[in-house]
Amino acid sequence: MPKSTLTDEFIEPFLLATVHVLNVQAQVEAKPGKTQPKQASQVMSCDVSGVIAVISEKYSGSMIICFPEKTFLKIVSSMLGETYSEVNKDILDGAGELTNMIFGQAKIVLNQNGHTIQTALPTVVSGKNHDLSANGKGASVVIPFESQAGNFFLELGISEAA
Amino acid sequence: MFDLKTKVLVVDDMLTMRKTVIKMMKEWGYTDIHEAKDGEEAWTKTQEGGFGLIISDWNMPNLSGLEFLKKVRSDATFAKLPFVLVTAEAEPQFVAEAIRVGVDQYVVKPFTKESLRMKLESAYKKCSMRMSA
């Protein structure tokens, strides 16, 4: 069985990037909880999500940041310095931008450590209680975060190349 | 620093990021701020003329910030136009490529209002030296 890419060494840059990006860009202090393997039956209940491909020569997968609506509204309101009470097209891509920044920061660290993660563009998914999977074929982990804006999740899923 | 009357073009495919940069610029007193959602739209607006500063994202669909910068630098009319790239792509080879193409400053996301101000100040100094050379 090949060694999984989803080691602490791989996960930690995403975790640290999430804390850093939310702190600098949205002035939100996020605290990561325990990283856990995603169970096959586990449903991620998201209202707004940012998704980005995590692809290198050796593996492919994705990173998802999953926000309940209330959390997302508080984070974007803090980012933009304006209060938003409902999710609309003007703020929806905030999830994409946060995803882009977290991915970008993690990618710098991982590529410095010998990975070859490629540039990617994020996409945004919205809709009450939607469920996404970072990786339908291989292993995934879920990292819960707590913050003064509310809870949210980061999911990382990777399939090793054959 | 750039004159507060400078016509500024803010380019990003993410509306929230354009809003973030524009809000910071307005808080400093800039009044003539325009926006574009990708490099293609930005190049069209640039050709209309009058801009004194471009602040552009790198990673955008249609025409990336780097490709937009190449177009600006290869046109004699705009070749000296101050150009700042704002991006999450801070790996050395990306920075080296942007410098080779002629970027004046490089802002790494995420960024604070203060870090953007310092980068703009640095870009201004660099452009002033270039203009007087």
Q: What are phi and psi of B54, to 5 degrees?
A: -120, 130
What's the mean pLDDT when you consider all of chain A?
A: 91
A85 domain residue, yes or no: yes
Q: How many domains does chain A have?
A: 1
Beta bridge partners, B85, equal B56, B106
For B82-105, what is the mean pLDDT? 92
pLDDT for B49: 93
Q: Would residue A133 count as lying in a domain?
A: yes
Q: Is the pLDDT of residue A31 over 60?
A: yes
Task: Kindly state whether residue A3 falls inside one of the protein's structural domains.
Answer: no
In this complex, do B89 and A20 lie within 8 Å of one another by their Cβ atoms?
Answer: no
Extended beta strands in chain A, E state: 30-32, 36-37, 46-55, 59-67, 123-130, 139-147, 152-160
How far, in Å, CA of B100 to CA of B75, rounded?
Answer: 16
Vertex A110, ends A105 and A114: CA angle to 5°? 150
pLDDT above 60 for A150: yes
- Domain range for A64: 8-160
User: What per-residue confidence (pLDDT) applies to B90?
Assistant: 81
Chain A and chain B share a number of CB contacts under 8 A equal to 60
Task: Kindly state the average pLDDT of the residues A86-112.
Answer: 95
| Residues of chain A contacting B17 with CB distance shorter than 8 Å | 93, 97
The distance of A45 to chain B (nearest Cα, Å) reads 24
Q: Is pLDDT of A134 > 70?
A: yes
> Cβ A80–B16 below 8 Å, yes or no?
yes
| A36: in domain | yes
pLDDT at A1 over 50: no
Domains by residue range for chain B, with CATH? 8-132 (3.40.50.2300)
pLDDT at A95 over 90: yes
How many whole angstroms from its chain centre is CA A104?
Answer: 11
Query: Has residue A53 got a pLDDT over 90?
Result: yes
CB A152 within 8 A of CB A32: no
Q: What CATH number is given to the structural domain containing A142? A: 3.40.1550.10
A2 domain-assigned: no
Q: In Å, what is the CA distance from A43 to each residue of A46, A48, A66?
A: 9, 15, 12
CA separation for the pair A80, A87 (Å, rounded): 14
